Amino acid sequence: MALFSDTTSALPGRDTAIETSQVHTINGHSLHPPFPEGYEEIVLGMGCFWGVERLFWQQPGVYVTAAGYAGGTTPNPTYQETCTGRTGHTEVVRVIYDPKQAALETLLQIFWEQHDPTQGNRQGNDVGSQYRSAIFTTTDTQLKAAQDSAAAYQQALNRSGKGAITTEIKPLDTFYYAEAYHQQYLDKNPGGYCGLKGTGVTCPIG
């Protein structure tokens, strides 16, 4: 289970959403609902959301991605607030996908293989609860698939002498959009930072 920040001194946040982008810089799709009928949403935390968002916008069948915050208590947090660890949130990417073109198991396989889910409140050199690994689901099917995939990947990690998965897996409460400059950051800044680094262990699903 993931390690969480101490929210006994949680920041109050605000009643209204912070300003963000309206459309995806690459495909022009709206970052905001409503999304096409039949499409599904899953929210993933793998460390710094810049590289995570690029990873998933490149996947076939993904309709739109957006950087944001989830898993905490502070309403409508800013980036600076989230970085204090006092919002309880982790950096995440909202992935809206067509299940007829992007299999959930494939998205989960990418999730497990492209970061290290055993590090607790960090991802590589990025340290803090805002970088913890997380899967926030929006359907019962997604929740079961995420839990089953974690069990399968843990067995693979065990065989490779790796540690225990610390990924937080639970239904999504609220997704909060990050500021406009974070949206599709690596499209706007192609040479920008990407901290993604997997364990080198294959996830036996998908």
Phi/psi at 66 (5° precision): -150, 140
Given the residues 48, 83, 194, 203, select the one marked as catalytic: 48
Distance CA 94, CA 112 (A): 16
Residue 6, pLDDT score: 54
Q: What is the pLDDT of residues 175-204, one digit of tens each?
A: 999 999 999 999 999 999 999 999 999 999
CA 68, 171, 206, 62 dihedral sign is negative
48 catalytic, yes or no? Answer: yes
If residue 105 lies in a helix (H) or strand (E), which one and from where to where?
helix 104-113
Reply yes or no on whether the pLDDT at 88 is more than 80: yes
DSSP category for residue 23: B
One-character DSSP codes across 160-199? TT------EEEE----EEPPGGGTTHHHHSTTS-------
What pTM value is reported for the model?
0.95
The mean pLDDT value for 103-132 works out to 97
Q: How confident is the model at residue 9 (pLDDT cuts 50, 70, 90)?
A: confident
pLDDT, position 86: 97
Question: What kind of architecture, by CATH, is found in domain 40-188?
Answer: 2-Layer Sandwich (3.30)
Domain boundaries, the chain: 40-188
